[in-house]
């Protein structure tokens, strides 16, 4: 351990080692007693330096995790002794399998324990030392377990009846699931996509950070570009001028962002009010003291699929049934409106039915022009096109 590592993660590894040792010995006919088993676990900690173990939960200590690990093992021993349930096919079993034949992608799976039960079912067992437990649905969709199953199926095609099992050592809970072929296909597809993404990142030397609650247990925390600035600022002895200056600039940017959001909200509200008055009083220009605001026309058309699915489907159906079906085979609602409806290329009956599907696709725009004195040119404050 030459890098800081989270104490609970490391305890999980110690439990894996203890169970590996237990089953390896059991396979040779040497069954450890509960005392011997726990004593070996206690001894394994004696050679470990606690210096690099990081406890992220401030209310806890390394000793807490060591004891939690011991209690978990004891629970496991008591509920599984004498460990003669079926045949252990492998412990920490390393299996290489082909993920994608065409691209030559192979994956190495290391399975905590593989056993064939007395009823012939093969169990892929994964030990967990996490705080929480998953729902049954989570396990049934678990891509890690799906990859393990692919590895077992490739190594032993004769095993047809396979289940995956996760054993939560802290809680003493076990969950099993039979994975669907669809999930296996999905997991294979996703794993290939992930590899392609990693290859792209490698070739472009671009590794975007992905922050999550797991960051606090990440061994690369101190090297991470998403965390380095905070770490540097917290350490006053090393904070460089440039990094301090960046903090000031970030502060100003945040402030202006907030202000611009407030301004934008006010502009949007004013725009609504101006459009309302313009429609009510039939105005195309509204005068102010500094200048004038022109009201552009609203745009009409057929809705997109995401805007109004029902109307979109109705238009699709009308186009399909019309004599213009060949022209608008791949329906593009804009083309159907502009090149078909407005130019009246569809039969009259279709045009009448289509009329009911027309919506306002864009609100009327506002554009402003300032009087010459103190003029600032002509702009559209809401980002819309100037008339």
| Residues of the shown chain interacting with ligand SF4 in the complex, contacts defined by CB under 6 A | 209-211, 214-215, 218, 220-221, 224, 226-227
Instruction: Write down the least CB distance from residue 221 to ligand SF4, Å.
Output: 5
Cβ 222 to ligand SF4 shortest distance, Å:
9
Q: How far is the CB of 5 from ligand SF4 (least distance, A)?
A: 13
CB nearer ligand SF4, residue 21 or residue 52: 52
Nearer to ligand SF4, 218 or 274 (CB): 218
The Cα-based distances of 314 to 88, 105, 333, 360, 362 in angstroms read 61, 46, 11, 17, 21
Helices 62-80 & 34-46 angle (0-180, nearest 10): 160
**Nearer residue to ligand SF4 within complex by CB, 57 or 185:** 57
**DSSP-assigned letter for residue 255:** H
Q: Which two tokens stand for residue 120?
A: 């012939």
| 216/334 with CB nearer ligand SF4 | 216
Min separation Cβ 4 and ligand SF4, Å: 12
| 254 Cβ contact list (under 8 Å, min separation 6) | none
DSSP β-ladder status, 162-168 and 122-128: parallel
* Rounded Cα–Cα distance for residues 353 and 370 (Å): 45
C-alpha dist (Å) from residue 361 to 188, 302, 308: 41, 8, 11
Rounded to the nearest 10 degrees, the angle between the axes of helix 62-80 and helix 7-27 is 30
User: 217 vs 314, which CB is nearer to ligand SF4?
Assistant: 217
Measured from the CB of residue 12, what is the shortest distance to ligand SF4 in angstroms? 17
Note whether 284 and 294 are within 8 A (CB): yes
What count of residues does the chain have? 387
Please report how close the Cβ of residue 345 comes to ligand SF4 at its closest, in angstroms. Answer: 55
Pick the closer one to ligand SF4 by CB: 59 or 214: 214
Sign of CA dihedral 220, 226, 228, 232: negative
The upper half-sphere exposure of residue 341, i.e. CA atoms within 13 Å in the direction of its Cβ, equals: 24
Residues whose CB falls within 8 Å of the CB of residue 144, separated by 6 or more in sequence, listed in order: 126
CB of 257 to ligand SF4, least distance (A): 23
Least Å distance, CB 56 to ligand SF4, is: 12
The residue (of 17 and 229) whose beta carbon lies closer to ligand SF4 is 229
Nearer to ligand SF4, 194 or 317 (CB): 194
Show the CA angle centred on residue 173, arms to residues 143 and 128, nearest 5°.
45
């Amino acid at each position: 351990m030459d890098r800081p590592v989270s104490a609970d993660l490391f305890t999980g590894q110690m439990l894996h080692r203890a169970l590996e040792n237990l089953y390896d010995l059991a396979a040779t006919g040497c069954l450890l007693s509960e005392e011997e088993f726990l004593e070996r676990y206690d001894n394994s900690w004696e050679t470990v330096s606690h210096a690099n173990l990081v406890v992220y939960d401030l209310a806890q200590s390394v000793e807490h995790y060591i004891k939690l690990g011991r209690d978990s093992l004891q629970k496991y021993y008591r509920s599984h002794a004498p460990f003669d349930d079926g045949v252990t096919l492998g412990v920490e079993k390393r299996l290489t399998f082909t993920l994608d034949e065409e691209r030559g992608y192979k994956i190495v799976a290391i399975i905590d324990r593989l056993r064939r039960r007395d009823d012939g079912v093969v169990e892929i067992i994964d030990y967990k030392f996490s705080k929480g437990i998953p729902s049954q649905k989570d396990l049934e969709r678990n891509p890690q377990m799906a990859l393990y199953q692919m590895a077992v199926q490739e190594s032993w095609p004769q095993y047809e009846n396979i289940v995956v099992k996760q054993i939560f050592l802290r809680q003493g809970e076990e969950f099993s699931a039979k994975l669907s072929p669809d999930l296996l296909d999905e997991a294979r597809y996703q794993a290939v996509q992930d590899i392609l993404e990693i290859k792209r990142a490698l070739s472009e030397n671009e590794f975007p950070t992905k922050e999550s609650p797991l960051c606090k247990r990440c061994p690369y925390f101190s090297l991470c570009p998403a965390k380095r600035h905070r770490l540097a600022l917290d350490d006053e002895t090393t904070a460089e001028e440039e990094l301090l200056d960046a903090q000031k600039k970030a502060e100003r940017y945040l402030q202006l962002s907030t202000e611009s959001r407030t301004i934008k909200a006010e502009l949007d509200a004013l725009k609504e009010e101006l459009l309302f008055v313009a429609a009510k009083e039939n105005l195309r220009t509204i005068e102010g003291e500094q200048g004038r605001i022109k009201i552009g026309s609203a745009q009409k058309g057929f809705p997109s699929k995401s805007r109004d699915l029902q109307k979109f489907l109705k238009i699709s159906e009308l186009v399909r049934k019309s004599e213009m079906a060949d022209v608008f085979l791949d329906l593009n609602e804009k083309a159907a409106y502009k090149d078909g409806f407005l130019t009246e290329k569809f039969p009259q009956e279709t045009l009448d039915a289509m009329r009911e599907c027309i919506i306002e696709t864009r609100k009327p725009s506002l554009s402003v022009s300032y009087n010459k004195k103190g003029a600032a040119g002509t702009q559209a404050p809401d980002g819309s096109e100037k008339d």
